[in-house]
Chains A and B, each alone.
Chain A
Amino acid sequence: MNARLTRNNLVLLAIVAALLIAPLGMRSYSLNVVSTWAVMSVAAIGLNVTLGFAGQVSMAQGAFVGIGAYTVGILTAMEWPFLPCLAVAILLCLALGWIVGYPALRVRSHYLVFVTLAFTTLAYLVFRNEEWLTGGTNGIPDIPRPEMFGISFESDLAYCYFCLLNLAWVSAAVMWLVNSPWGLAFLALRENPVKAQALGVDTRRYTLVAFALGSALGGIAGTLYAPLVAYIDDNAFTLNLSLNLMLMVMVGGSGRLIGPYLGALVVVVLPELLRIAGDYYLMGYGALIVLLMIFCPSGLAGLPETLRARRGATP
């Protein structure tokens, strides 16, 4: 047990070191892939809080990424610096996430999917049609990258580190959350809400909090995404994004801390690697995910356990 723990720590340390050093030797294309991975990891970590830990299905995470991105797009056009934009995006997504959570007090599982899906559609329609605010189908161009404490994050390399830095603090915060008494209450809410409530867990409040926190992380991902791509329009935040984020959580391992990073790796990086396969890439990609879900429904994070259990069953 302890040997495994130290081994895991060493692996973690190696990965962090690789993430710190590797960008130095990367070109712009690779840097953007790493940045996108970091941004999508943040969004997936958020969905993992709502869905993975608290058990509330949300198809609205993509919409919150959009709301975060548009917040930065609109406010930086008004010459706002990045940090206040981030604060506004977080507060806005916390509030909207709280509101989106209300249906979850009445409906669960696939019904909740439809309710949250409606929110995603609604957000998309606002992005697309409210031209005075969002630029409509023309989108918002020339979103600047932040400059903070005299450091400019303009270059791809600097911005990649900026995304990784944000991923780091989000990771630390969520790790704290999951290991706090709230993590236990979320698990109780996910596994057995009736029993949880009989044990004093205020399921209503925890449900709303789970939605608010998960959505706020989606918003943070959005604020990082907009300066990364410099141009946003409505097409980036369709239902597709919500589905992709859901895929990241499920493939990575729902309700596991390292799940979202692995999921984002599969959804963001794997297609880039499979690009050499040309037109066949989607087929291969689809097949891989289907196989994974059949043989390891607990996702990539659960793969070691599945393999160990299988070895134990057939020595």
Chain B
Amino acid sequence: MKTVLEVAGLTKRFGGITAVDNVSFSVREGEILGIIGPNGSGKTTLFNCFLGQLTPTAGQAWLDGRNVTGWRPCDLNRLGVSRTFQLLQVFPQLTVRQNLILAGQEHRGSMLGRLIKRHDAALIAAAERMIRFFKLEAHADHKAGALSYGQQKLLDTAMAFMAGPRLVLLDEPAGGVNPTMLAMLKERLQAMNRDEGATFVVIEHNMEFVMSLCHRVLVLAEARIIAAGTPAEVQANPQVIEAYLGN
């Protein structure tokens, strides 16, 4: 199977604190990879380091064989890497449709072209497709800020897919979402993966969600990867149990 993302020896230090310590892993095409670990184990920092929000102290990241270490988020996004943030981030004063169009517009044509030409039909159609896919039809013209938290979360996830992405990284997509909405989110993500071959990396604390969604799980504790494997393997690993529950 083809490797989409390859991370090697990634380290991030903040002064004397090592938040990510020599972490290496790869993401294969078409898989859903989960990253779990106790609070403060470095999951989000790891994300930030290969997504350009932070510059890693050491280590490299390759996307489809291209070294993208230190690239800016917007350039990575144009290569097809998109992400959501742990805290919900949509644009509340824009409508659902406008949010989606914004999330897709920068991938098309040149910057000058976007000044002269209005949004093209293909982009608007893509936004419509995403609205249907995440069952947001009833709210398409509502301000995103007027939506419920769960719906905003769906919108946030939908925005990450507007880039027609190669790789989507979701940082706690289940946080604060009610069980019904969560089941739907999981179903939608699985459909994306199955029907469009979308590749995901998911950081999550909700074990049930991770274990039922992901094909493979990495466990981070104290800035290092302590275990990797299928959900069943990871759950049976004594080191993982120790990291979560202590001795």
Contact = CB atoms under 8 A, between A and B. Distances in A.
Given A198-B82, A201-B74, A182 B159 contact: no
A205 B111 contact: yes
B73 A198 contact: yes
Majority SS at the chain A contact face: helix
B102 A185 contact: yes
Interface string A178-195: 001110110110011011
A199 B85 CA distance: 11
Interface string B37-56: 00000000000000111000
Contacts of A181: 105, 114-115, 118-119
A201 B83 contact: no
Contacts of B98: 184
A195 B111 contact: no
A234 B116 CA distance: 38
Interface in B103-160: 103, 105-107, 111, 114-116, 118-119, 159
Contacts of A187: 91, 93-94, 102
A201 B119 CA distance: 15
B91 A192 contact: yes
B13 interface: no
Interface in B160-176: 162-163
B118 A180 contact: yes
A182 B74 contact: no
A282 interface: no
Give the most central of A181, A184, A187: most B CB within 10 Å.
A181
A197 interface: yes
Interface residues on B, range: 20 to 34
Nearest to B169: A198
Contacts of A180: 114-116, 118
A253 to B, nearest CB: 14
Interface string B61-78: 000000000001111011
Nearest to B119: A181
B85 A184 contact: no
B89 A195 contact: yes
B101 interface: yes
A202 interface: yes
B91 A191 contact: yes
A198 B102 contact: no
Nearest to A203: B74
Contacts of A194: 53, 85, 89
Given A184-B98, A184-B101, A191-B91, A201 B115 contact: no
Given A181-B119, A188-B91, A195-B89, A202 B102 contact: no
Nearest to A194: B53
A200 B107 contact: yes
Interface of B: 51-53, 72-75, 77-78, 82-83, 85, 89, 91, 93-94, 98, 101-103, 105-107, 111, 114-116, 118-119, 159, 162-163
Given A181-B119, A198-B77, A201-B102, 12 more contacts: A180-B114, A180-B115, A180-B118, A181-B115, A182-B115, A191-B91, A197-B52, A197-B77, A198-B74, A199-B106, A200-B78, A202-B74
